[in-house]
Structure 1
Amino acid sequence: MHAGTTARTCDDIDEMVLNFAELKAIATGNPLIKEKMALDSEVQKLQLLKAHYDSQKYALQDAYLEEYPARIRKETEKLSRLQEDQKTIAKETKDIFCMEVEGIAYLERAEAAQAVEDLLLRAPKGVKVELGRYRGFNILYQQDIFGRNLGICGRNTYWIDASLSGSGCIRRLDNFFTSWDKMEQKIKAKIEEYRNALKAAKAEYEKPFEREAELIEKSQRLSQINASLELDRKDDSGEAVT
């Protein structure tokens, strides 16, 4: 017989003997039994609530010590890089058009659009292709199962949907370069969201288990009752009581 099986069998026997004592106590009207049965149920429920509280507490601890600080750092660094990219675009002259496509500089929008469109037709699928340079940023193109995308590479890399036409791609790049404020506000809002979530997680973590005192009190009382019933069982079995 395995040790685990033996231990379980002994536990079963002890429980059976105790149940006989309980039955006798019930038959003799022992009020401890009724109290014990109620406490058994109440303590078990409280222990389950405490176990759930503990598991939530560990999750909240990870959230406010690691998860949210890491998210805040990531978004703060992203914001810093975006602000550097804003300075790059601010240096570019909007009135003079110049776009480099595959190493060739185009001063006419229509010619640049045609060069972009020619590249789109030749670009292999699933591979990032260096399209060229526009307004101080390197531009990538990629076509995969998810669609066609343009990558704007600065301190951050930003991906936007590409058009099927060269002129459409240039127009979408121009639209992107006017959306810095929206991107900045979006990142700042996310940082604020994570900061608030961190505060809330810390506040929840620091809350004590509301029914801790009740659990301790009822557990102690249950131990006293069990000890009293154990003495009764030994008296009935003829064992020496010390």
Structure 2
Amino acid sequence: MDEILAGNASFSVYEEIRSKLIEKGVPADQVRFIHEAKTDLQKSKLFDEMNRGEARVLLGSTTKMGAGTNVQRRLVALHHVDAPWRPADLEQRDGRIERQGNLFYEQDPDGFEIEILRYATKQTYDSRMWQTIEYKAAGIEQFRKGDGLQRVIEDVASEAANAAEMKAAATGNPLIFLQVQLAADLKKVEALFSNFKRNQHALDSRITWLEEADKRADRSVARWNGEIAKRDAGTGSSFMFRTAAKSYSEDNKDQLLGAILGCMKVAVERKAEDTFQRAAIIRVGTYRGFEIDVSCSRHKIQFTITGNDSYEPDNLVYRTDDKFSLPGFISRIDNFLDRFEAWRADAEHSRIGERDELAKAKIEKGKPFQQQSRLENLREDSRDVMTELKLMQADDNYVSTWTPKSTVLQGNAAPEAKKMRA
């Protein structure tokens, strides 16, 4: 197609662009056509000349200058003379310049910019071409989001947004361009408003929870006070561990070790008899006012401590291949029982933290949506601009004097260039 357009047609856009560039002072040998390179060796030579700066302008079609065209070393601008049919083609074109390996970026990473320029002629088929790109890109972006229940695109973004603006600009009617911008802005603010309402609903639930902070803290403090009182009442001046059969003191700890190991053995045997039954709980004895039980589950032995409530401390789990020592076992129980005061302090600390959070949540709940006025104006403007377009369609002589309430335009209605960071 490049050869046909450039050689066999009465008008060649390639030659026209080159002639205009030459008139502007660009040397003829610095303007090159991609179809001049017919072999891989010729392409490689052409690409090297571009990267060295010997050639400054390279013209070609999407197909000819697609993947494998690595001429980005000194590129500063990309020009879309026409609109392709597929969003992927538009992305492929931009990929010639939006890539690593640019010399000027390496020299000034923070200040370097490239230009991507798209062209359209008013009141021509360009409008239809950009509209096609818009529809296709929007559908692809919705599919990529992966939400099968979504019926409305939340926002026009990426190539879909570019195509929408180019389509509107190509119609020659500023109201159409305005309608596109209004629709895009409205979708953005609607999305923010939906997120605001979700946050307000979440705040309602959170406030309801936080208002129970004192009740939760009171229950927790009462629980640990009860356990502390039970522990202190059962703690004597000397070591004492009681089983159903006997009380063990410091003098007969060896016998206590045998008794505990015996209980552990029974728990293992009970589990082995029927692996599908719940683990049998074997009473070991009483220590510092708390009942100590043991059970076997698969390949671990768990000791349970019961005061006003029952606990299964992580530090009282033994694997079948772990070594068991009585001093270590007693030390683990003591460490657990001595943590009650810390847990009571945690409850009080949580009370204070949740009170502070409740105050902040109520303040946040009372705040209105900051863009409420803009949202209402955008909604009204979106309705009014469609009314104006219908009036223009019905009467060719109708001249609209309508102006939007929301501020959506900055500068010209149809920008000719788009600057992007590399």
Instruction: Give the 3 Å change call, closer, same or farther, for CA 146–33 of structure 1 in structure 2.
Output: farther
Higher relative CO (CA 8 A, sep ≥ 6), structure 1 or 2? 1
Q: Partner letter of residue 177 of structure 2?
A: K
CA deviation map 1:205-228 (0-9, x unaligned): 332221111111121122122122
> Matches of residues 166-177 of structure 1 in structure 2 within 5 Å?
166-177=326-337
Aligned with 2:198 (options 55, 59, 62)? 55
Contact 2:232 2:288 in 1 (8 A): no
Query: What does residue 208 of structure 1 align with?
Result: 368
The counterpart of 1:86, out of the listed 222, 228, 235, is 228
Q: Which has the higher helix share?
A: 1
CA-to-aligned-CA distance 1:39-83 (integer Å, 9 cap, x gap): 1111111011111121222122212213x4567644542221111
One-letter code aligned to 2:176 = I
Aligned partner (choices 131, 135, 144) of residue 288 of structure 2:
135
| Structure 1 residues 130 and 203: CA distance shift in structure 2, 3 A | farther
Q: Provide closer, same or farther for how the CA distance between residues 195 and 143 of structure 1 changes in structure 2, counting only shifts above 3 A.
A: farther
Q: Is the 8 A contact 1:64 1:201 kept in 2?
A: yes
- Normalising by the residue count of structure 2, what TM-score does the alignment of the two structures yield? 0.44
Gaps of 5+ in 1: 1-21, 237-242
Q: Is the 8 A contact 1:117 1:165 kept in 2?
A: no
Asked if the contact 1:139–1:153 (Cα under 8 Å) also holds between the matched residues in 2, the reply is yes
Q: CA separation of 1:204/1:233 partners in 2, compared to 1, >3 Å: closer, same or farther?
A: same
Cα distance in 1, alignment partners of residues 211 and 256 from structure 2: 45
2-side partners of 1:235 and 1:128: how far apart? 90
SS of equivalent to 1:94? coil
In structure 2, runs of 5+ residues without a counterpart are: 1-166, 272-278, 319-323, 397-422
Q: 1:69 to 1:130 in 2, by over 3 A?
A: farther
Alignment: residue pair count? 211
Change in CA separation of 1:73 and 1:145 when aligned onto 2, cut-off 3 Å = farther
- Alpha-carbon distance change, 127 to 78 in structure 1, aligned in 2, over 3 angstroms: farther
The percentage of aligned residue pairs carrying the same residue is 21
Find the aligned partners of 1:127 and 1:194 in 2 and give their Cα distance. Answer: 41
Quote the Cα distance in structure 2 between the aligned partners of 1:91 and 1:158: 19
- The answer (yes or no) to whether the contact 1:141–1:149 under 8 Å persists in 2 is yes
Equivalences for residues 1-80 of structure 1 within 5 A: 26-27=171-172, 29=173, 31-66=174-209, 68-69=210-211, 73-80=215-222
5 Å-filtered alignment, 1:75-154, equals 75-101=217-243, 103-109=244-250, 110=253, 111-124=255-268, 125=271, 126-144=279-297, 147-154=300-307
Bigger Cα displacement from structure 2, 131-140 vs 118-127: 118-127
